[in-house]
Amino acid sequence: MSSSLEKNMLILRSSDGEEFIVPEVVAVMSKAIKNMVEDECASNTIPVPNVDANILAMVIEFCKKHDESEAEAASDLKTFDSEFVNRGQEALYDLITAANFRDVKELLDALCQNVAEMIKGKSVHHIRIQFLGYQLFEILTSNFIWNIWCDRDFD
C-alpha cells in the first residue's frame, strides 16, 4: 500500500482498524499527529487510538474543509462549523474527546462554542444532570430527604 502512496499523504488507522489516506497538511491540523510527523517517529501508518472510524471520518471531513477553505469567506466557514457540530449527544461527546486527545484546536473550539451556546440558558439542575451524570434517582432521593427535613414537625 505504501508503495502506491502519493507524496505528502499519510495513512491514519482508527481504533477499529480502518485506514484513511489523507494529505499531510490535513493530518497535521492535529497537533498530536504533527508532533509525531515532525519527530519522524511516524511510520507510513499512524495509529489513532481511542478514535473509531466514524468519528475519525468526521474529524477528517472537518479538517479538510478548514484546509481547503482558507481563502473562502470566514462566514461560510462559520456556517459549516455550526452545521458540523450540530449532532447528537453521543457523536458530540466522541468528537470532543477526539479533538481534545488529538489536539485539533479549530474543531475543539467549534465544539466547545456549540456546547457553551447550548448550556447558556440552562438551569443548574440541568447542568448537574448533563455534566455530572447525576442520576434522576439520586436527585429524587436527595430531594425526598430534603423535603422530609423541611416538613419536620419542630414541636
Binding site for another protein (CB under 8 A): 9, 18-23, 26, 53-55, 57-58, 60, 64, 86-89, 91-93, 96-97, 100, 108, 112-113, 115-116, 118-122, 124, 126-135
Give the whole-angstrom CA distance, residue 136 versus residue 132.
12
Shortest distance, position 40 Cβ to another protein, whole Å: 23
8 A C-beta contact, residue 97 and residue 50: yes
Comparison of 121 and 153: residue with beta carbon closer to another protein: 121
CB-side exposure of 85: number of CA atoms within 13 Å? Answer: 22
Comparison of 43 and 100: residue with beta carbon closer to another protein: 100
Shortest distance, position 116 Cβ to another protein, whole Å: 4
Comparison of 49 and 155: residue with beta carbon closer to another protein: 49
Shortest distance, position 148 Cβ to another protein, whole Å: 22
Give the whole-angstrom CA distance, residue 29 versus residue 111.
16
Give the whole-angstrom CA distance, residue 73 versus residue 27.
23
Comparison of 34 and 64: residue with beta carbon closer to another protein: 64
Shortest distance, position 33 Cβ to another protein, whole Å: 16
129: burial class by Cβ within 10 Å (0-12, 13-18, 19+)?
middle
